[in-house]
Amino acid sequence: MPSLSSSLERVGMPAVDADWLHHLVGDWQLVSDLSFADLVLWVREPDLGTWTCLTHVRPNTGPLVFYEDMVGQPAGPRRAQLLVRCLAEGRLVVEERPEWLNDMPLREEAIPVVRDGRCLAVMTRHSNLGAMRSPSRLETTYRATADTIIGMIATGDFPQVSATADRRRGTPRVGDGVMRLDLDGIITYASPNVISSLHRFGEHGRVLGDYLSRIVTEGIEDRSVVEESLPLVLTGKAAMRAEIEGSGTNLALRSVPLSDNGERVGALVLVRDVSELRRRERELLTKDATIREIHHRVKNNLQTVAALLRLQSRRVDDDLAREALAEAERRIGTIALVHDTLSRTIDEAVDFDDIVSRAFASIVEVAGRGAAVTGEFEGSFGRVAAEDANALAMVVTELVHNAVEHGLDGNGGGVVRIRAARRRVADEQRLTVDVEDDGAGLPEGFSPGRSGLGTRIVSALVQDLRGWIRWETRRSGGTRATFEARLRPITGTERVATM
């Protein structure tokens, strides 16, 4: 099924016109919901002269018309005549005879989509006549508002780009609540959902016939923090969004100025109670701040432990004991580095390349003991879940430390290289890491299970990463340790960024 962008490119639609159609499609759910009707966008194929459906939207407020998606389908002869007539006359055209679909009578209307006086495409509106009944005031208001917006599409006054560019979380929809304002900002109609929302906001009087600006102004609790767009939203003079808070209720407002042949006739205001949504967001922000603070305190405590070990090692005369304490201090420092990185992020994942770079430079400098050791880093670890970060950091730093201290020991220096690569296997991420040096190679009779503590730690942690590890002597000299880890999925990312 072709996308809207690819279809517009195929028919050679200029970029500015294509952008206009994208804005229309980004906001036409509003028109479909107000109309209780399906909307279909058609464009004429430049070479064939036929009409093709670009995209299709169904209403959320009533029964749909087309169960199958219309995208990519050509217009039949009867519909093509309607589209050609609409394009030629540049106005809304109604099919005189109802169309029948699965024993369902349909009313079909063609609307020119105009920008700067030019018709870019034709939009059809399909209403189910079989579902028609004596309309309530709500339905009458909805359809009258939809007809006004349809007229604005035909004159190039809709979509309103400033509104569709704002993708704020919690944007109100027609089903959430609808108000109509006159030219002075007086409420001439309010759906039951709107009246209930305003009552929760603190308004206990009559809503109809009152100024929306008066109701909101008296209900706002903190007047020191008011969005700049709020006055324009409350009077319906601009296509904008704003949010208000009062009596423990958060309301999201969106205004859609309405016009007739370019002359403003009032506004549509959509209202949504987003109190629960904002409460959950505040909980997430508090939770994230708490988690970051915990990581920060763990890092501080680990650094304190490392400092105590360093002090203790200075009072020990036995060289082996002093070396063991130094090893413990280094390992604790690695874990502290991970928690320091986690304390700086809003989610439970880390950019592991940053951890490796910081730890790599430190290990090469300390373990090299003044020798000319060069560290090289190729590839990328990417983002790693917190559950894997500590184990992965310990494995990499142990392997690097062993390469510097043992592989290059006595060689007067050399090169230690880390090479990382990720790939997707089925539904999981696999990470393969090589740590190699150009030193003396593996010692005679090397066995990971019977070697030093560092090797045994690495083997145990790789198992925790659900992976494997092997050591080998490089043909060109030196040692290569290769391990693979099956990374856990990262959860909870971008929670706050999308709010």
Taking only the tens place, the pLDDT of each residue in 223-257 is 666 788 899 999 999 999 999 998 889 999 999 99
Query: In terms of domains, do 142 and 206 share one?
Result: no
Query: In terms of domains, do 127 and 191 share one?
Result: no
Closest CA to 490 of 355, 384, 354, 343: 384
Query: In terms of domains, do 200 and 125 share one?
Result: no
Cα–Cα distance for residue pair 488/499, rounded to 1 Å: 25
Give the sheet arrangement for strand 468-473, strand by strand: 372-379, 413-425, 428-437, 479-487, 468-473
Residue with token string 């105590």: 308
Cα–Cα distance for residue pair 463/88, rounded to 1 Å: 72
Domain boundary among 159, 192, 222: 159
Cα–Cα distance for residue pair 445/451, rounded to 1 Å: 10
Cα–Cα distance for residue pair 429/422, rounded to 1 Å: 7
Residue with token string 């970051």: 292
Domain boundary among 139, 159, 179: 159
Query: In terms of domains, do 261 and 349 share one?
Result: no
Cα–Cα distance for residue pair 223/469, rounded to 1 Å: 62
What tokens were used for 164? 């569709």
CATH number (domain holding residue 212) = 3.30.450.20
Percent of the chain that is helix, strand, coil (3-state, to 5): 40, 25, 30
Query: In terms of domains, do 240 and 357 share one?
Result: no
CATH number (domain holding residue 142) = 3.30.450.280
Quick one: CA dihedral 73, 76, 79, 80, positive or negative? positive
Query: In terms of domains, do 178 and 105 share one?
Result: no
Residue with token string 């109802």: 98
Distances 212 to 84, 173, 267, 271, 480 between C-alpha atoms, Å: 43, 19, 12, 12, 72
Closest CA to 240 of 222, 228, 250, 249: 228
Query: In terms of domains, do 125 and 177 share one?
Result: no
Domain boundary among 97, 126, 159: 159
Cα–Cα distance for residue pair 250/359, rounded to 1 Å: 46
Q: How many C-beta neighbours within 10 Å does residue 444 have?
A: 5
Q: According to the model, what pLDDT value does residue 365 have?
A: 64
Query: In terms of domains, do 443 and 482 share one?
Result: yes
Taking only the tens place, the pLDDT of each residue in 160-185 is 876 555 555 678 999 999 999 999 99
- The answer to whether the CB of 237 falls within 8 A of the CB of 130 is no
Q: According to the model, what pLDDT value does residue 167 have?
A: 55
Residue 225 lies in a domain: yes
Mean pLDDT of the chain: 86
For residue 484, the Cα-to-chain-centroid distance in whole angstroms is 30
Taking only the tens place, the pLDDT of each residue in 127-171 is 988 766 667 899 999 999 999 999 999 999 999 876 555 555 678
Q: How many C-beta neighbours within 10 Å does residue 476 have?
A: 7
Tell me the three state secondary structure of residue 336: helix
pTM of the model: 0.65
Query: In terms of domains, do 57 and 144 share one?
Result: yes
Query: In terms of domains, do 407 and 458 share one?
Result: yes
User: Given its phi and psi angles, is residue 466 left (phi above 0), alpha (psi -120 to 50 degrees) or beta?
Assistant: left
Give the number of domains in the chain.
3
Task: Report phi then psi at 54, rounded to 5.
Answer: -85, -45
Residue 323 lies in a domain: no
Least confidently predicted of 96-100, 309-313, 337-341, 401-405? 337-341
Cα–Cα distance for residue pair 27/165, rounded to 1 Å: 10
Query: In terms of domains, do 125 and 20 share one?
Result: yes
Query: In terms of domains, do 27 and 109 share one?
Result: yes
Taking only the tens place, the pLDDT of each residue in 7-17 is 899 889 999 99
Residue 349 lies in a domain: yes
Domain range for 79 = 4-159
CATH number (domain holding residue 362) = 3.30.565.10
Residue 307 lies in a domain: no
The answer on pLDDT for 20 being more than 70 is yes
Q: At 478, is the pLDDT very low, low, confident or very high (cuts 50, 70, 90)?
A: confident
Q: At 496, is the pLDDT very low, low, confident or very high (cuts 50, 70, 90)?
A: very low
Residue 318 lies in a domain: no
